[in-house]
Structure 1
């Protein structure tokens, strides 16, 4: 059971209502993660701000963003995020089998993306550090150094949500991802 209240738009603290209303419109309902984040408006506002900046300035497409989220969720063993992003990945065009392969590190459908996901997995599990060989392999696969640098904000966003879910024990309100 979630350790904190999961708010609706109607009962959320004032500082989080607008962001929660926007997330409700985007997802069709208030997800438990968002309703729980609203309990401390700074948390919900920080999440919304990162999402907004990525939307305005990020260069990764939806499939790549969801693949990164699946990798980070797997590294962090976040059931909520792996489940939510499996649904997001399916909506972005990934098959269920591909989402499992992305999560477990066996995805090999696109060498360029696989190189990025290897870098993401290593960074997420290594406190941000990656080996020079991993960085070079991603460059050789066709990623620019700016694109690889951008990965850090996607990793950070997903670490943020994973750690939030672990901290407050967010109840799962989306279909459980296969294999969890």
Structure 2
């Protein structure tokens, strides 16, 4: 194990959030960051499968009219590399940012298995990944977020304010670790421990 490797519980659950084809639509989302996110997510999924650790795959079914993530749109489907790694994964469908408000009930599933540690990866860094990680921290889980296994998009806010995807990812890292919700790590730190 390398010096910077993170200790992972034998039953640590990898929660892969919203890695769906609709997020490839640049005309809908705009500029993104971290082109390595998909490779890092795939590496984590492979490591969890080899180690026999549980994987949870979360899919967003948007209720917003015209959304590329609506259940009746092609973008609702998982990206191919995730679909190919379905294994024995729990599949959760949600309509809001947190995987803890999906079906089936994530907290009940984790509790039934005595799982106390979760690793949260996927899309979007500052939206569903951050929201799920915050809720997991509030619920008492030991939460790890490999920031390089997430990505997001530039975002406009009120009164002409906007942040780039990289700025939003940095804000998420500060919010999660500085706020005590999660430990922000890298994929490379997790893989030797898996």
Is this a same-fold pair by TM over 0.5?
no
Higher helix residue share = 1
Normalising by structure 2, what TM-score? 0.30
